A = this chain, B = another copy of it.
Amino acid sequence: MLDVRLARIRRFRMRTERIPEFTTQRLSVYLRCLEALEEMGVERTSSQTMAEQFNLNSAQIRKDLAYFGQFGVRGVGYIVKDLKRQLSCILGLEAGHKVCVVGAGNLGMALTDYRGFPKNGFTVVAAFDSSPGKIGGCSRSGVPVYDLKDLSVIVRKEGISMGIIAVPSEAAQDVCERLLDAGVRAILNFAPMRLVGRPGAEIKSIDLSISLEGLSYFLSRQFSDASRPQQQPNPDLPSSPDTRR
């Protein structure tokens, strides 16, 4: 009786529990998987099938999805098209997001023209820089480069909701604050430093050198045990010769 109503509601209702960061990260991954499946003409899938594609446990996928509602059909699995739309909606991608890139250097311009963004509902509508040589120009794909001073005006005019920071470390915190002042609540930071944000705003950092260092660590562990390394690794923390700087 009442149960029917209740179930119907729960189907789309998010739980109030706190949702782990890892879960939300995986949601994007599931979405990619579903997109691939849809392209291949697959209409239905199951947590097992999806789990095999990446290196995941099927229970984890079910649990991740269960945080947000009941999207599957017992005994059947998930309808690719439906689940895809649900995930898209959960991630807030339905409407699309306008993005700006601050820093019109090599990396900034590459990100401005990055082809992967439009596919996933992100449109870079503006780049900013403070160098007179760059202001007034535009990226290869035609995105205009504005004066950083006008950030706040353009952000409001264009309805920009996300910012990407691609300026040198020294300038990053200042740019971060300008973005926050302009009302941008979500920032992706490529400057190799920790930015201090504000409550109600999210800052994600991608530090390219740290990523490489993780790989470097792997290499030095890898070869320190037995197998013959290509080059001298470091067999085990030697008191290294003092070749500083």
Chain B residues near A97: list those with CB within 8 A: 212, 216, 219
* Distance to closest chain B CB from A42 (angstroms): 16
Residue of B90, B95, B121 touching A217 (CB-CB under 8 A)? B90
Bound CA–CA A90/B233 (angstroms): 11
Chain B residues near A29: list those with CB within 8 A: 194, 210
Q: How many copies does the complex hold?
A: 2
Bound CA–CA A89/B92 (angstroms): 43
* Distance to closest chain B CB from A7 (angstroms): 14
Selecting from A57-65, A125-133, A142-150, A180-188, the interface stretch reads A180-188
* Distance to closest chain B CB from A167 (angstroms): 12
Which chain B residue has the least Cβ–Cβ distance from A192? B116
A161 is an interface residue with CB less than 8 A from chain B? yes
* Distance to closest chain B CB from A83 (angstroms): 12
Asked whether, in the complex, the Cβ of A106 is within 8 Å of the Cβ of B99, the reply is: no
Chain B residues near A89: list those with CB within 8 A: 234, 237-238, 240
1/0 contact trace for A40-74 toward B, CB 8 Å? 00000000000001100000000000001100000
Chain B residues near A99: list those with CB within 8 A: 212
Asked whether, in the complex, the Cβ of A215 is within 8 Å of the Cβ of B204, the reply is: yes
Asked whether, in the complex, the Cβ of A28 is within 8 Å of the Cβ of B214, the reply is: yes
Chain B residues near A188: list those with CB within 8 A: 208, 211-212, 215
- A211 with B206, Cβ < 8 A, contacts A95-B234, A192-B116, A237-B14 known: yes
Q: List 19 A-B contacts (CB under 8 A).
A: A12-B237, A13-B236, A14-B236, A29-B194, A86-B237, A91-B213, A92-B216, A92-B219, A92-B233, A92-B234, A95-B233, A106-B113, A107-B111, A117-B209, A120-B213, A161-B219, A188-B208, A204-B215, A206-B211
Residue numbers of A with Cβ under 8 A of B are: 12-14, 24-25, 27-29, 31-32, 53-54, 68-69, 81, 85-86, 89-95, 97, 99, 105-107, 109-111, 113-117, 119-122, 140, 159, 161-162, 168, 183, 185-188, 192-194, 200, 202, 204, 206-222, 230-234, 236-240, 244
